[in-house]
Every structure is written in structure tokens, then in C-alpha cells.
Chains A and B, each alone.
Chain A
Amino acid sequence: MIRHLLRLPRHIFLALIAVFMAAPLVVVAGVSLNATRRMSFPPERFGWNWYEVFFTTPAWLSSLQWSLLIAAAAALVSTSVAVPVAYAIWRFNSRFSKLLSGFGALAFMLPPVVLAVVFMIFWGFIGHVGRVENTVLSHAVVLLALPLVTVSLGFQSIDRSVIEVAETMGATDNYVFRTVIAPIVMPYVLCGALFVFVLSINEYIIAYMVAGFAVETLPIKVFNSMRLGFEPTMCVGAVLFMLLGAGTFCLIARFGDLPKLLGAASPRD
């Protein structure tokens, strides 16, 4: 009995946090399902019509497509940089790669506003303004820390004696990489790519300063629409991104060991 009473504050605390975290998202989802144009919660009349409007309005569709394209490309570029660096650190203990890795991870710790100014100046200096590649490459570099961490964890999880055995039995480096290393590391690479994907798709300030006037991603489109007033389609965009994020992390939890990726000790029992 006393045990249960002691647990009560804990449950209240957790419930309060859960409500706090869920409330804005629930309200937005509710408003998006309101059939009328008015902003109201709970919905006056239930309807999917704003989702239909969203998916038939070229401006919303193109912003969604830009976002997806940029995020996918950034994830690809970012992992293509991270994998060789993590491999060189693990395989050759290369000091230069450690330097690269440290510098590559630095950007992630800097304030986004500063990075936005940095990249705006950089692309202006190159004379390459308002192009989608700017957003892709800027995101790929800024988020590089994520695949660097996950891929390094992947390499560390390989038992080195297995590699030695393969080598003594005459397997070439390439063969070892293809048959032993790649299958073990692949889920970690995928998780790194997914992390970059989901953060890139939601990133606003860098995308805006680097190419926002020409390449309008969904967060940029929502922000621009906010100045003009409320539109239920904005809620639809927010709900889609919520689902996209939740879906991606469920996928990561399925493919990889989420607690381990987030730094928990592997379960002892």
C-alpha cells in the first residue's frame, strides 16, 4: 500500500510531462481534421477535406517534394562522408581521420543561426545562390556528426578476432569488407542516414538563408504562410511531418537498438 502511494507522484509527474509534450500536437491534429475553415478545437465538424486540399495544391505539394528530396540527398551525402572516416579510424587508427571526424562533428554543436550566416556567405562567395544543392550540402555537413557517431558505434561492435581469422585464412581486404564488415555496419549506417533525413527535413533557418527564396521547403512554406494568417493546410503539413518523424524513429527502433544508439549500456540481462 505504501509502495503504491509512493508511486503516485511519479505517475502524476510522468502524466503531466506527457500531456505537455502531446498537447500542441494533438490540438494541431484536431484542427487539421476540422471540416470548416475556422480554427477550432475540438473540431466542429469532422472531415478529411484539408488533406485533400493539401495534396491537390501545387504549392504545398512542391514544398513537400523539395523537403523530401533535400533530406534524402543530404542523408546520402552525409553518410558517404561519414563511412570512410569512421572506417579509417577503426581500421587504421588514422590520426588524420580523427582530426577530420572532430572537425566534421563540430558544426553540429554550433548555433543554427550562426551556421545559416556562415553558409549564406559561403554560397554567396562561390556565386552559387538560390540552388537546391546549397541546402543539400549545407545540411549534409551540419548533420555529419550523427552518422559519424552511429557508424563508429557500428565498427566498434565488430569483433576484431573474426577479421583476423578471415585474414589468416587468406581473405583479401575487399572480401572481408564485403562479407564481414558491411553486413554488421549496415544497420548503423542506415540509422545514421535516417537521423540526418529527419533532422534535415525539419531544418528551417539554414535552408531559408541559403536558398529559401527559390527552394521553398515545407517548414519555410509554413513560416511564410504564418505571416499571412491561419490556413488549415498548415496544420496538415505539421501533422504529416509529425507522422514522418514518428515513423522514422519507429523504423530506427526496429532496425537498430535505439537505447544503444542513444548511448545506453547494452542490456546485461
Chain B
Amino acid sequence: MTDLAERMTILLARPRLPSGRLVALLAWPTLAIVGLSAFPLFLLLQVSTAHREPGALWSPGFEWTQYEQVFDATFLRMLGYSAVLATVVSVTVAAIGLPLTYLITRMRRRSQMVWLVGLLTTLSLSEVLVSFAWQVMLARRIGLSDLLAALGLLSEAQSLYPSAGAMLACLIYLTLPFSVLLLYPSLSRIDRDLLEAARTMGASPLRGFFTIVLPLMRRPLVSSLVVVFIFTVGSYVTPLVLGRPEQWTVGVLISNTVLGAGNVPLGAAQAVIFLGLTLLLTGATALLGRRKGDKP
């Protein structure tokens, strides 16, 4: 493996570079990235066309059975449902994330730090721990449902999960920090002079936001939508913990195929389809962004 890595390094390195040193420098990274990233992805493709072997992971062979099975009615319905759910989550998160990030970038440095550290902490917190926290908060014995009942929003105090609302709230909670972090760089780089100029010429802050900030934010907004969309479709723990079985996503389906039913080749095929959709979506966004970016 190392040998192959080194040969590739020599082949691809530019001739005028000190290639001996470059080989030494890049041998380990090449081994790690090719061996642990590229090769496993290739293996996924291969296993998705392998033969199912009950009791083992798979047995060698080449067949299209898995792909014929993948596109059954359940998978397609689940894909459609996941896409609708993911659209709702990603649009909601963008609608909250944009004004939130805008306000954060306008804060003093110290308050900015507090918000960023807080958002990063929730971003890094395990999906397991976050959905567990939501489960605890929505449980019958915690005061929240009593509070809602007292306010007349609920007829009687009850457990607020499993439900679509609980799942949606938790997914928004999990993805909002992603959105803020994706919008933050461009929003903090927007030239303040532009907004000042608009202000002195009589535009209201709100109008400045819609005519200056929003058009400049098109690209990061699209990437926020895409990232949140993909995360939601692939979410596993949250739908399982807070949703009902009919509200489960593609992420749950893939895990159940592999872990529950033990059908690794079929799970691999489902993963390949999901992977393909992901790459298609990110690729399309990148292309769209580039074309828009060309215009001054």
C-alpha cells in the first residue's frame, strides 16, 4: 500500500519540486486518505452489487438484485417523505438562521464570542445527548406540558413525544448552529460602509437588509439549505427517539436494513443512492454558485 502511495506521489508531483522530500512528507497522508477514505467508498460500491449472505456480511459476486430491491414502494415513499421533512426543516432553519447570524455579526466582539461558543457547544453535542435532553424536557413529569395545559394550549398535561412536533423541534435545534456557522463568514464580511451609505440615503435598516444583505447572501443561504437538508434526510437518532415509526427517515431505514435486518448489500445499495443524491445536490449547488459568482 505504501509502495503504491509512493509511486502515485512521484507520478503526480511536479518534477521541479524536491520530490524525495515531498514523498517522505506525503507518504502517510496519502496512505491515510487513499486507504481510509477513497478505498472504503469504492468498497461500498462493490458491496452494493455483492451477494447477500445470511449470517455473514456478504459474499462475493456481482448482481443487480439490491438495486432492483432498492426502488420498492416503501423506499420511494420514505425518500419522498424525508425530502418533504428536510425541506420544511431547512427552510425554517434558514429563516431563523439568517436574521440570527445577522444580529450576531452586529454585536460587540465579546457578546459575539458568547453566542459563537454557545452555538458551537450545541453543534458539537451528540445527536444522542440532544435528543435525550429533548425527551427529558418533553416528558410528562417535567413541568412543560403542565405549563402548556395551564396556558390552554393542551387539554391536559401529557407526554409531548413521540410526535412530529417534537422531532421537528429537535431537528431544528440540531441544525440551526450549522446554518449560523455557514452564514457567519459572508455576513461578517459584508461591507458596513454599504449599509451606512444606504442609511444616510434614507433607507430603513429593514430595507437595507432586504436590498443589500439578502442578495449578497444568496450563495451561503443555498449551502445552508443543502447542508441542513442532507443532515435531516440522514438523521437517525432523532426520528427514532422522538418520532413515530411512520415519521422515520432514510437514515433510520438504512441503519435498520444493515443492523436490524442484517442485509448489508441492500443497505449498501440504499447508501449508494443516498450518497449519489447528496453528491448531485452539493455538485449542483457548487456549479450554481460558481456561475453566479462569475458575475461581478
- Which residues of A are interface residues toward B (Cβ below 8 A)? 6, 10, 13-14, 17-18, 20-25, 27-28, 31, 38-42, 77, 80-82, 84-85, 87-88, 92, 94-97, 99-100, 103-104, 106-107, 109-114, 116-122, 124-125, 137-138, 140-141, 144, 198-199, 202-205, 209, 219-220, 222-223, 226, 230, 234-235, 237-238, 241-242, 245-246, 248-250, 253, 258-259, 262-265, 267
B26, B109, B188, B237: the one contacting A223 at CB < 8 Å is B237
Instruction: Determine the distance from Cα of A54 to Cα of B66 in the docked complex, in whole angstroms.
Output: 45
Q: Is the interface of A mostly helix, strand, loop or mixed?
A: helix
Query: Contact at B274–A121, with CB atoms within 8 Å?
Result: no
Contact residues in A for B49 (Cβ distance below 8 Å): none
Q: Chain A interface: which of B7-15, B69-77, B288-296?
A: B7-15
Query: Contact at B173–A103, with CB atoms within 8 Å?
Result: no
The 4 closest A-B pairs by CB, nearest first: A263-B185, A111-B234, A24-B133, A202-B126
Instruction: Determine the distance from Cα of A121 to Cα of B36 in the docked complex, in whole angstroms.
Output: 12
B33, B130, B282: the one contacting A104 at CB < 8 Å is B33
**Distance in Å: Cβ of B36 to nearest Cβ of chain A:** 4
Query: Contact at A264–B189, with CB atoms within 8 Å?
Result: yes
Query: Contact at A84–B128, with CB atoms within 8 Å?
Result: no
Assign chain B's interface to a size class.
35 or more
Chain A to chain B contacts (Cβ below 8 Å), 26 pairs: A6-B205, A21-B176, A84-B25, A92-B18, A92-B22, A107-B37, A111-B275, A112-B236, A113-B236, A114-B44, A118-B43, A124-B264, A137-B36, A140-B36, A219-B129, A222-B128, A222-B132, A226-B241, A234-B132, A237-B129, A242-B121, A245-B124, A249-B120, A249-B124, A259-B113, A265-B189
Please, what's the 1-or-0 string for B112-156, where 1 marks a CB less than 8 Å from any CB in chain A? 110011111110111111101111110101110000000000000
Instruction: Determine the distance from Cα of A234 to Cα of B126 in the docked complex, in whole angstroms.
Output: 13
Query: Contact at B26–A111, with CB atoms within 8 Å?
Result: no
Q: Is the interface of B mostly helix, strand, loop or mixed?
A: helix
Query: Contact at A113–B255, with CB atoms within 8 Å?
Result: yes
Q: Does B198 interact with chain A (Cβ within 8 Å)?
A: no
Contact residues in A for B217 (Cβ distance below 8 Å): none
Q: Does B213 interact with chain A (Cβ within 8 Å)?
A: no
- Given the known A-B contacts A38-B141, A94-B22, A253-B113, are A264 and B32 also in contact in the complex, defined by CB atoms under 8 Å? no
A14, A241, A262: the one contacting B185 at CB < 8 Å is A262
Instruction: Determine the distance from Cα of A84 to Cα of B44 in the docked complex, in whole angstroms.
Output: 28
**Distance in Å: Cβ of A175 to nearest Cβ of chain B:** 15
Contact residues in A for B274 (Cβ distance below 8 Å): 111, 113-114
